[in-house]
């Protein structure tokens, strides 16, 4: 079994090399950090996004309802309330409501992640994979810790990627947030990090030294630049010195907002005082923590107004060259002659790696931060001393160099190896913990291309609108699902605004897909129709982008559609947790619905191939010719019911609709935005169109015999096919010439899949084009085959009877259905007649 590793909440460019290394070792990687996953994909590294199964929402709601209902009475008991009491005071009157709200929210996230884990392990089994390790960021969030507990139930080891635990100085440190090793193992930055964790009682055997992959790129030569170059890039005066002030903020887990905010303001004042120092002339860059403004979504307008006010305030106090800079961190660091760091954060290490002298203003001077000063970083407890320190440092190049020298000595203790190779060490550790036998695991290569040597039997049409994560997975897994059927893939992009365009361009350039691009979102139906127009294969398969096909799916679908009377085939669609999402559609209380939803994947009712009225368009295969004759999906519908409508038109045209259980496809269902925006409108159109064709049993009512019938025809000469005649009116002229003089001749034109109203509109021009009325006298009997088997059998028998004049061996063969085989035989008989 191929090993699989889940990376949860692990994001950042630095982890792309880790993922690449794992893939090269034959490990399947699943990630929930979409930006990082996409970046890896863009670099050709196969990564699978982690999905929260749609069924998780229902489970969360059900469980939260149960928990809230059961907790309520308990919380009225004095002995239970005593658990919340404290000698320091009663916090419940102040935060009781918020406390229980947050608890419920956190518990909901825990249940969701536990459901996701179940889904992922099931998905891995079906893929022939084994989930061997879960790697988590070290945020100590409830859902991360719950995942670890859930993983233990499955016997799956866990690894926590620690980051900067030695730096944190705040209430989170006191509360032990960053210091609690909750996973089985920890990948620690370096020795000082491990020392802190060990001193707090964690087992050193569980702590592995790797360094931080996020810093690897800083060691590359091309990441380095001179101060002058960095200043030029930032639009600063390259000849003037620069001080960079990087601030922290009162984050969500800080209980002492006032203290932290006040401290930050004092640091800021000290930096401004330094800028006003009479002996100093430097350009000040202030870099607020990027997460500070993002705590609450403010909207672009408010955000830019706040930043503009702050920038104007800063320029007014710090003089020319002062600027507020939220991004371009590495250029800002390298532009600086001195970096002032408001609390020791990971940015401090980055400044040290980039060899810029740094001074730390601790957020909590009382806290134990002295380890930083041990032979290394300059720490200033009293911010009032900052102006004189800055003055003495900026004026003394030798002191600045000495400071950098001391920082360099300290770096190996803060970032293991100090060599830019942490990603390799992290990947080695993950592979080791996942017990990967490199020799036995097949490499996870790039997705296979469709075979260009074989003409496609099926055109897979995938309409997309955003949700690039789904499209990524779909395009990646599609070629991995084994099939002997040659196929092509056409993706129709409905003007996506996320990273879809780039992803599709990547696959298109690699020759894996063809892309139809729309300037605006035309909706599901129009996109599918566009895809069908671009298709080259005799069969069309419409596939949602939130699907993952499994081995043999395409073969099973094609096999099911092979008899000529099958007009549409649907697949067995599963939720990621393995329960049924679709096994055919029925009318439930007058509305098309999925009767077996949430049933077990192998329930007896869903294991048999069945004839139905409708199947879902999430995965729908049908003959391209039939799709064209039916006019494609009806664009009157908007993102709903188009598939049901199409299936009923297939049924009305006399074809069967099948559910094929051997074709198994995972489906995340209804993930596109706007998917449910038009439900009422769609149903109104649907009921108006089909309401009188749905019987009390909820089944489609078969069409009545067509108005045009065989009564009154003098005799039968030959069977013609309407689609051939429309395509080539000259054929009708030939028929007419052959039979026009015979009094008993009647040309039967079989129009399978048409209704009566279409005959005149479509055959009329062909008849005129053939000049038949003027040149020939054969009776024309056009029969629209609208699905009534009795009419087809009668027709077949009468035509057959005519040709029985031709000597033939054996008894008259009954024709139970006017299927492809019957038609083929009739064509052969007609050819012999021509030959005679």
Partner 1 sequence: MTHRSDITGLRPDVTGVFVSLRCSGCATAFEAYQPTVAGLAFGQHACPRCGAVSEVAPEDFAAALDRFLPEERWEELVRLTGEATRVAESWHQMPELRSILRHRDVELGPATERQIVALIAAGLNAAARGEGPA
The two beta strands, 241-246 and 282-287, are: parallel
Query: What minimum distance in Å lies between the beta carbon of 160 and partner 1?
Result: 13
Give the orientation angle of helix 468-477 with respect to helix 500-509, to 10 degrees: 20
Query: What minimum distance in Å lies between the beta carbon of 204 and partner 1?
Result: 22
Query: What minimum distance in Å lies between the beta carbon of 334 and partner 1?
Result: 21
CB-nearer residue toward partner 1: 105 or 768: 105
Provide the edge-to-edge strand list for the sheet that holds 28-31: 48-49, 28-31, 2-8, 129-137, 158-161, 185-188, 207-209
CB-nearer residue toward partner 1: 138 or 657: 138
The two beta strands, 586-588 and 591-593, are: antiparallel
> What is the C-alpha separation between 353 and 233, in angstroms, rounded?
20
CB-nearer residue toward partner 1: 156 or 461: 156
The answer for 649, left when phi > 0, alpha when psi is -120 to 50, beta otherwise, is alpha
DSSP string, 537-572: SSEEEEE-TTEEE-TTHHHHHHHHH-STTEEEEEEE
For residue 585, what is the DSSP state? B
Query: What minimum distance in Å lies between the beta carbon of 135 and partner 1?
Result: 17
Query: What minimum distance in Å lies between the beta carbon of 248 and partner 1?
Result: 8
CB-nearer residue toward partner 1: 144 or 672: 144
Query: What minimum distance in Å lies between the beta carbon of 73 and partner 1?
Result: 10
In this structure, are residues 779 and 746 in contact, taking their beta carbons and an 8 Å threshold?
yes
User: Which among 434, 803, 482 has a CA at the least distance from the CA of 664?
Assistant: 482
Q: Which residues contact 32 (CB under 8 A, 6 or more apart)?
A: 7, 8, 9, 49, 50
CB-nearer residue toward partner 1: 255 or 448: 255
Whole-angstrom CA distances from 414 to 191, 196, 396, 420, 421 are 7, 12, 27, 13, 14
Query: What minimum distance in Å lies between the beta carbon of 559 and partner 1?
Result: 39
Query: What minimum distance in Å lies between the beta carbon of 101 and partner 1?
Result: 10
CB-nearer residue toward partner 1: 63 or 198: 63
CB-nearer residue toward partner 1: 598 or 676: 598
User: Which among 331, 338, 358 has a CA at the least distance from the CA of 346?
Assistant: 358
Give the phi and the psi of residue 662 in degrees, each rounded to 5: -75, -20
Query: What minimum distance in Å lies between the beta carbon of 696 and partner 1?
Result: 43
CB-nearer residue toward partner 1: 262 or 374: 262
Query: What minimum distance in Å lies between the beta carbon of 342 and partner 1?
Result: 8
CB-nearer residue toward partner 1: 118 or 350: 118
Instruction: Quote the Cα angle for 730-734-735, to 5°.
Output: 115
Query: What minimum distance in Å lies between the beta carbon of 140 and partner 1?
Result: 5
CB-nearer residue toward partner 1: 114 or 490: 114
CB-nearer residue toward partner 1: 9 or 681: 9
Query: What minimum distance in Å lies between the beta carbon of 366 and partner 1?
Result: 4
Instruction: Count CA atoms within 13 Å of residue 89 on its CB side.
Output: 6
Give the phi and the psi of residue 408 in degrees, each rounded to 5: -60, -35
> What is the C-alpha separation between 503 and 520, in angstroms, rounded?
18
> What is the C-alpha separation between 406 and 403, in angstroms, rounded?
5
Indicate the SS3 state at residue 468: helix
Instruction: Quote the Cα angle for 794-798-800, to 5°.
Output: 115
> What is the C-alpha separation between 792 and 819, in angstroms, rounded?
9
> What is the C-alpha separation between 259 and 531, in angstroms, rounded?
61
CB-nearer residue toward partner 1: 264 or 665: 264
> What is the C-alpha separation between 411 and 392, in angstroms, rounded?
24
Query: What minimum distance in Å lies between the beta carbon of 704 and partner 1?
Result: 55
In this structure, are residues 144 and 178 in contact, taking their beta carbons and an 8 Å threshold?
no
CB-based burial, 312-348: b 16+ in 10 Å, e otherwise: eebeeebeebbbbbeeebbbbbbbbbbbbbbbbbbbb
Provide the sign of the torsion angle of the four alpha carbons 287, 291, 295, 297, taken in this order.
positive
The two beta strands, 185-188 and 158-161, are: parallel
CB-nearer residue toward partner 1: 257 or 676: 257
Query: What minimum distance in Å lies between the beta carbon of 492 and partner 1?
Result: 40
CB-nearer residue toward partner 1: 63 or 408: 63
Whole-angstrom CA distances from 694 to 586, 611, 614, 682 are 11, 16, 12, 17
Query: What minimum distance in Å lies between the beta carbon of 480 and partner 1?
Result: 29
In this structure, are residues 277 and 387 in contact, taking their beta carbons and an 8 Å threshold?
yes
Query: What minimum distance in Å lies between the beta carbon of 102 and partner 1?
Result: 6
CB-nearer residue toward partner 1: 91 or 834: 91
CB-nearer residue toward partner 1: 21 or 283: 283
Indicate the SS3 state at residue 324: strand
Query: What minimum distance in Å lies between the beta carbon of 93 and partner 1?
Result: 4
Question: Residue ranges of the alpha helices (H) in 480-623?
Answer: 500-509, 523-534, 553-561
Query: What minimum distance in Å lies between the beta carbon of 75 and partner 1?
Result: 9
CB-nearer residue toward partner 1: 1 or 294: 294
CB-nearer residue toward partner 1: 319 or 563: 319
Burial label, 835 (beta-carbon count in 10 A; 0-12, 13-18, 19+): exposed
> What is the C-alpha separation between 143 and 182, in angstroms, rounded?
12
């Amino acid at each position: 079994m191929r090993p699989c590793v889940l990376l949860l909440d692990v994001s950042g460019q630095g982890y792309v090399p880790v993922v690449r290394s794992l893939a090269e070792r034959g490990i399947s990687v699943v990630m929930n950090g979409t930006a990082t996953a996409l970046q890896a994909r863009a670099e050709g590294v196969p990564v699978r996004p982690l999905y929260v199964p749609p069924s998780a929402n229902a489970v969360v709601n059900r469980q939260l309802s149960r928990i809230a209902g059961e907790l309520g009475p308990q919380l009225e008991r004095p002995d239970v309330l005593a658990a919340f009491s404290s000698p320091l005071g009663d916090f419940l009157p102040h935060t009781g409501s918020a406390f229980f709200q947050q608890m419920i929210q956190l518990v909901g996230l825990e249940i969701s992640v536990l459901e996701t884990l179940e889904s992922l392990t099931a998905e891995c089994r079906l893929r022939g994979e084994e989930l061997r390790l879960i790697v988590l960021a070290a945020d100590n969030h409830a859902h991360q810790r719950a995942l670890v507990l859930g993983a233990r139930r499955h016997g799956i080891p866990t690894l926590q990627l620690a980051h900067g635990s030695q730096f944190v100085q705040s209430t989170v440190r006191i509360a032990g947030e960053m210091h609690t090793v909750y996973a089985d193992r920890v990948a620690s930055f370096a020795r000082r990090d491990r020392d802190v964790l060990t001193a707090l009682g964690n087992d050193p055997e569980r702590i592995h030294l790797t360094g931080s992959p996020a810093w690897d790129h800083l060691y590359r030569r091309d990441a380095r630049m001179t101060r002058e170059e960095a200043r030029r890039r930032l639009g600063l005066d390259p000849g003037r010195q620069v001080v960079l002030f990087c601030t922290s903020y009162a984050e969500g887990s800080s209980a002492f907002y006032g203290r932290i905010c006040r401290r930050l303001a004092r640091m800021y004042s000290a930096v401004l005082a330094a800028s006003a120092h009479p002996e100093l002339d430097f350009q000040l860059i202030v870099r607020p923590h990027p997460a500070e403004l993002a705590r609450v979504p403010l909207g672009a307008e408010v955000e830019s107004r706040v930043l503009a006010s702050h920038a104007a305030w800063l320029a007014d106090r710090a003089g020319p060259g002062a600027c507020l800079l939220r991004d371009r961190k590495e250029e800002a660091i390298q532009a600086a002659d001195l970096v002032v760091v408001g609390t020791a954060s990971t940015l401090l290490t980055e400044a040290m790696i980039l060899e810029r002298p740094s001074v730390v203003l601790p957020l909590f001077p009382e806290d134990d931060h002295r380890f930083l000063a041990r032979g290394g970083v300059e720490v200033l407890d009293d911010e009032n001393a900052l102006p004189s320190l800055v003055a003495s440092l900026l004026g003394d190049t030798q002191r600045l160099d000495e400071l950098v020298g001391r920082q360099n000595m300290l770096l190996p203790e803060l970032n293991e190896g100090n060599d830019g190779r942490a990603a390799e060490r992290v990947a080695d550790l993950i592979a080791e913990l996942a017990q990967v036998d490199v020799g036995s695991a097949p490499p996870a290569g790039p997705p296979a291309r469709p075979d260009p040597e074989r003409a496609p039997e099926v055109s897979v049409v995938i309409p997309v609108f955003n949700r690039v994560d789904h499209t990524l997975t779909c395009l990646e897994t599609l070629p991995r699902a084994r099939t002997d059927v040659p196929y092509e893939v056409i993706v129709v992009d409905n003007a996506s605004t996320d990273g879809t365009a780039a992803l599709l361009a990547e696959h298109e350039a690699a020759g894996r897909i063809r892309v139809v691009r729309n300037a605006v979102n035309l909706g599901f139906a129009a996109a599918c129709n566009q895809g069908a127009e671009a298709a080259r294969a005799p069969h069309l398969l419409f596939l949602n982008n939130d699907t993952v096909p499994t081995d043999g799916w395409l073969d099973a679908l094609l096999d099911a559609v092979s008899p000529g009377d099958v007009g549409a085939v649907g697949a067995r669609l599963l939720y990621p947790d393995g329960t049924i999402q679709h096994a055919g559609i029925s009318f439930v209380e007058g509305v098309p619905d999925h009767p077996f939803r949430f049933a077990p994947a192998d329930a007896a009712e869903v294991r048999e191939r069945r004839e139905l009225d409708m199947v879902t368009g999430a995965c729908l295969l049908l003959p391209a010719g039939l799709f064209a004759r039916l006019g494609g999906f009806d664009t009157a519908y908007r993102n709903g019911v188009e598939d049901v409508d199409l299936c009923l038109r297939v049924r009305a045209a006399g074809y069967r609709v099948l559910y094929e259980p051997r074709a198994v496809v995972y489906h995340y269902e209804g993930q596109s935005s706007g998917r449910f925006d038009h439900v009422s409108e769609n149903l109104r159109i649907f009921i108006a169109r089909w309401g009188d064709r749905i019987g009390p049993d909820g089944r489609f009512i078969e069409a009545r015999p067509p108005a045009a019938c065989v009564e009154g025809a003098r005799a039968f000469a030959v069977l013609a096919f309407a689609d051939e005649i429309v395509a080539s009116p000259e054929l009708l002229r030939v028929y007419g010439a052959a039979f026009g003089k015979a009094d008993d001749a009647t040309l039967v034109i079989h129009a399978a899949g048409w209704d009566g109203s279409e005959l005149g509109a479509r055959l009329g021009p062909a008849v005129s084009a053939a000049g038949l009325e003027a040149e020939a006298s054969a009776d024309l009997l056009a029969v629209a085959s609208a699905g009534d088997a009795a009419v087809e059998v009668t027709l077949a028998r009468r035509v057959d009877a005519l040709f029985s004049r031709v000597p033939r061996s054996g008894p008259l063969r009954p024709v139970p259905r006017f299927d492809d085989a019957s038609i083929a035989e009739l064509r052969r008989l007609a050819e012999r007649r021509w030959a005679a």
